[in-house]
Structure 1
């Protein structure tokens, strides 16, 4: 059996709401399953992760409904092969597995090289800033217009890899025209690694960008700081980022943010000072991005309250956690108010990092304008307020090097309290009281 693409099902916000509000969630899911002809085993595409769901298992169904209840939609994929179809077996049972088959082209002198040039046609794509890509490809294997490398290293070592290899190589690759843009994220499945993606002409990515990245990584491979480099297939999260137009613009946004974060990481102090700088700059970067989208205080508060609620639910927040978060805000309030005051930036200890975010804002301006236009023209499958939560999440992923989700919860809590305090202060101003009268 040859599977070119796994079956997918899009579940709408209304359907998810119905599942959550049903008195018998398991029965409601079975109704949806019959209506959509879902198999027993499906996979929930959960951001950067995937969650297998057994629709015959009550606990699995309850977990699934709990995870998706607040979402604007969800994407399900068939789980293939299903557990009973696994062929790799041992004394402990069946195992999932994959085989990677490399193909190596043997070159034999100039005749072979000339034949290659005459017979192999380079792949081309429209410039990434065009919004008329329809339909947009979802998967990009090595050799396509996206070069995707996984760089396996320690969580702390990832900063060194960014500073010493990825950022310098990316600058040269983009400057030479071998790639139009790039972005990275931190990830940990079985092992921690950086995921780095370059977009450009397929031929130049393989013949120029990939060798440059390899050369930059060689010293880190030699001393063991990077212990494996792997090319992989880039699978676009089209639904998560607002459809065909949205995902193309999201990649441009990720490019600007990746450059900014890599520049900031390269400037961080060592030790505890660097850790303190890191989360403060992450917080400022979140606020700055909300400002870049033109959100007023009320809209910003709505976005961060939603992000905060999701994380508090994920971490099963109790009175003790709420007390800790309150104490953290009281401790940091004055320093954060100064951080968010543009008049105080000139002499601020984080002035260099703040300047980098100003450059990011300038680079993002045309991208955000296109996103706003796409929303007005109903070319996005999700509202910008939903998409911004994903952009903020990816920003935090890039700048924080470990325990990102727990730290992201704290950042959302701090922003919620800061914005709430500003809202209350504004309501007490003479102008607000006069308007109310």
Structure 2
């Protein structure tokens, strides 16, 4: 029987780190990332992933897969080293340890362990990207964050063997779902989205042309490692399992990537990004008559 609940003291340890939306990237890069890296290097954990969440207070949810339960003391001693200074300076105002309740209905009883592996790969890749983006000024950082989000989603679709037509149909569906979620279904808003895409069309095409894409080439080591590691996971799955994830869980995997990558207003960013990708795939198919 697949285990659903992991209380503190079991193999998954779950921290809630309460901070601000605008300070979260700094906390992730300067404190959480070295904390995780140290635990990996010491052989204490076998995996880790994070998400941004509000309940209603904004916080980071960090989950660590513990190799040996006797290593808990090492985890908490490192937690003090890397995160207590943030409590002292006020950039973090609370850290809680909680029960990890696996979303078995969303991801499947037999597939949850593979989904968690995907989350771990994705989380480290996002942290690696954020650590580079953080060096830039705000305008360049957000410009590249948007461009990278296109590539991150495209790679996930490639990993699950989507062809051009499937990508177009899937992103059309996701885009329409989020427009409905936000109540943006009238002609006026659709025109605004189309106008926004036309303004950014040349940039989208430059980004997606991987052979010449400045953004892709700049971050190719991280992007390619992520894609290769994700492909190693999909190799463990049979055809039916891959299809199940594509049908029922892939939209959640994409959403979680965007959740990790954007500081705030994730769903609004997703809606526009999905629409841009849909328009790109549609134009690409028409241009090359695929």
Q: Normalising by the residue count of structure 1, what TM-score does the alignment of the two structures yield?
A: 0.63
Deviation at 1:202, TM superposition (A): 5.0
Match of 2:56 in 1: 190
Unaligned runs of 5+ in 1: 1-134, 433-437
**Which of residues 180, 185, 192 is equivalent to 1:324?**
192
**Which of residues 101, 116, 128 is equivalent to 1:263?**
128
Match of 1:79 in 2: none
Deviation at 1:380, TM superposition (A): 7.4
Any idea what SS the aligned residue of 2:111 has?
Answer: helix
Match of 1:285 in 2: 152
Any idea what SS the aligned residue of 1:344 has?
Answer: coil
For 2:282 and 2:190, the matched residues in 1 are separated by 16
**Which of residues 370, 378, 393 is equivalent to 2:255?**
393
For 2:94 and 2:275, the matched residues in 1 are separated by 37
Any idea what SS the aligned residue of 1:197 has?
Answer: strand
Greater percentage in helix: 2
For 1:381 and 1:388, the matched residues in 2 are separated by 10
For 1:379 and 1:261, the matched residues in 2 are separated by 26
Deviation at 1:350, TM superposition (A): 5.8
Cα distance, 1:260–1:379 mapped onto 2, change above 3 Å: closer
For 2:59 and 2:2, the matched residues in 1 are separated by 27
| Mapped pair 1:306 → 2:173 | yes
Q: Does the 8 Å contact 1:144/1:202 carry over to 2? A: no
**Which of residues 27, 32, 35 is equivalent to 1:161?**
27
Deviations 1:390-435 (A, max 9, x none): 11000000000100001100011001100111111232xxxx6xxx
Deviations 1:352-373 (A, max 9, x none): 33431111012111102223x1
Match of 2:265 in 1: 403
**Which of residues 341, 348, 369 is equivalent to 2:209?**
341
Match of 2:161 in 1: 294
Deviations 1:135-189 (A, max 9, x none): 2110101100001000000001100111111111111111221110000000112
For 2:274 and 2:3, the matched residues in 1 are separated by 34
Match of 1:101 in 2: none
Cα distance, 1:365–1:379 mapped onto 2, change above 3 Å: closer
Aligned length: 287
Q: Which is greater in Rg?
A: 1
Any idea what SS the aligned residue of 1:342 has?
Answer: coil
Match of 1:238 in 2: 104
- The CA RMSD measured in Å over matched residues stands at 1.7
For 1:397 and 1:380, the matched residues in 2 are separated by 23
Cα distance, 1:267–1:379 mapped onto 2, change above 3 Å: closer
Unaligned runs of 5+ in 2: none
Any idea what SS the aligned residue of 2:73 has?
Answer: helix
Cα distance, 1:380–1:245 mapped onto 2, change above 3 Å: farther
Deviations 1:176-213 (A, max 9, x none): 21110000000112211100000023524412123212
For 1:423 and 1:249, the matched residues in 2 are separated by 32
Deviation at 1:349, TM superposition (A): 4.7
Deviation at 1:234, TM superposition (A): 0.4
Q: Does the 8 Å contact 2:144/2:215 carry over to 1? A: no
For 1:385 and 1:337, the matched residues in 2 are separated by 28
For 2:6 and 2:243, the matched residues in 1 are separated by 22
Cα distance, 1:205–1:281 mapped onto 2, change above 3 Å: farther
